[in-house]
């Protein structure tokens, strides 16, 4: 964890050194519709249903030009996963497990006009919770569009996005589950 914080600090400091335009520091809260998906289904496997998925975090946008910048930060995601065992002829009750994850995004951000932007790029994920499903630690990606409105140095933003985690997992499984989410982030920021 200490190495992760050192990496983020170095990214933010080095980004500030090359900055020529106004930068943004933002905090946000997001809700998501998420699922643990496999490339192919397995007969006799348990069922996984996610509910109550939310996230919050901090983003820093380093504007390299008037329209283009690099966005990074730290994100915490929580989801409750309902696990229903495969039917074996006797009644087996489902149980719940938590999925907690820390993510460091490294996104390209391009501003379209005055109010809109697109962003996308890789995610570095670290699953914090132990669970019976496949670890989501690894490298994933995010693609999003959004809108923002400035009030002097302050701004509000809305950023719908699609995320896929564990595209390149740190621990490979034969039939790797990948957390996939449609997400809506709402936040406030400050331009400096």
Residue 174: per-residue pLDDT: 81
Residue 22: per-residue pLDDT: 81
43-65 pLDDT, tens per residue?
Answer: 555 677 788 899 999 999 999 99
Please choose, from the candidates 100, 28, 32, 31, the residue with its C-alpha nearest in 3D space to the C-alpha of residue 61: 28
Domains of the chain: 2-191 (2.40.160.20)
Paired strand residues for 189: 26, 155
Residue 123: per-residue pLDDT: 98
Ordered DSSP codes for 50-108: EEEEEEEEEEEEEESSSSEEEEEEEEEEEEEEEEEPPP-SS----EEEEEEEEEEEEEE
175-189 pLDDT, tens per residue?
Answer: 888 999 999 999 999
The pair of three-digit structure tokens given for residue 46, joined into one six-digit string: 């348990």
Give me the chain's average pLDDT, please.
87
Query: Mean pLDDT over residues 121-148, rounded?
Result: 95
Residue 89: per-residue pLDDT: 72
Residue 3: per-residue pLDDT: 57
Q: Are strands 68-84 and 47-63 parallel, antiparallel or unpaired?
A: antiparallel
Question: If you count DSSP H runs as helices and E runs as strands, how many of each does the chain have, helices first?
Answer: 1, 8
Band the pLDDT of 75: cuts 50, 70, 90: very high
The pair of three-digit structure tokens given for residue 1, joined into one six-digit string: 């964890």
Please enumerate in sequence order all residues whose Cβ is within 8 A of that of 152, keeping only pairs 6 or more positions apart, or say none.
none
Rg (CA), the chain: 19
């Amino acid at each position: 964890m200490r190495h992760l914080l050192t990496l983020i600090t170095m990214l933010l400091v080095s980004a500030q050194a090359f900055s020529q335009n106004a930068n943004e520091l933002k905090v946000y809260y997001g809700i998501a519709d998420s699922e643990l998906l496999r490339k192919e289904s397995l007969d006799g496997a348990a069922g996984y249903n996610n509910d109550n998925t939310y996230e919050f975090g901090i983003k820093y946008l380093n504007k390299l030009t008037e329209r283009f910048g690099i966005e990074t930060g730290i994100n915490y995601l929580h989801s409750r996963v309902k696990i229903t065992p495969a039917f074996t002829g006797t009644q087996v009750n489902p149980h719940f497990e938590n999925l907690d994850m820390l993510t460091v995004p490294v996104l390209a951000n391009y501003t379209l006009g005055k109010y809109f932007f697109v962003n996308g790029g890789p995610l570095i994920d670290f699953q914090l919770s132990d669970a019976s499903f496949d670890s989501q630690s690894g490298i994933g990606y995010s693609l999003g569009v959004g809108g923002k409105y400035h009030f002097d140095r302050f701004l509000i933003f809305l950023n719908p996005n699609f995320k896929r985690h564990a595209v390149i997992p740190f621990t490979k499984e034969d039939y790797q589950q990948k957390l996939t989410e449609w997400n809506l982030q709402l936040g406030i920021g400050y331009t400096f």
